[in-house]
Amino acid sequence: MSRINAVIVAEGVSVDAFTGRVTAFNMLDSLFVPRVPAALPKLHIVVSNEREIEDERFFERVVIKTASGQEVAATNPVEVHFALRFHMALHTLWGVRFDAVGVFAVEVQRRPSESAPWSVAFARTLLTQLAPHPLMPVAKTA
């Protein structure tokens, strides 16, 4: 059985072609939006897995949900098969729209086969706030 070591939400990622190392840019815990609805052109979710002893295959996807459980966005399922002890899955969502501010759940869901139901393997939060970014204050006009 594998376990998830980390789930990183970021606006950008780079994968080194020689080493396979992943670098995340603009990692997000909070998202500052000037108004709603708000949209992110692209959102990357990196899932770092570590398997224990046995060989394992499963399907994985990432779902973003509102606090009430309504699905906002979901990646296409990918089949994960470990070639080595560690595996990083990179999921990308395009044009994610946030119709409200508040706490959103970012769920990594898994299932053992294509016909099995999805179950939550890991969940973390993403907070959206109606405010200018603290590093980019709104200019005051006279």
> Could you say which architecture CATH assigns to the domain 2-130?
Sandwich (2.60)
Q: Where are the domains of the chain?
A: 2-130
How confident is the model over 40-96, as pLDDT tens digits?
A: 899 999 999 888 766 778 899 999 999 999 999 999 999 988 777 888 889 999 999
How confident is the model over 3-12, as pLDDT tens digits?
A: 899 999 999 9
One-letter identity of residue 14 = S
The pLDDT of residue 63 is 97
How confident is the model over 11-29, as pLDDT tens digits?
A: 999 999 898 888 999 999 9
What 3-state class would DSSP assign to 16? coil
Distances 95 to 19, 100, 123, 126 between C-alpha atoms, Å: 30, 15, 21, 16
Give CA–CA dist 112/102, Å, rounded.
Answer: 32
CB-CB neighbours of 101 under 10 Å? 17
**Of 31-40, 104-113, 121-130, which range is least confident?**
31-40
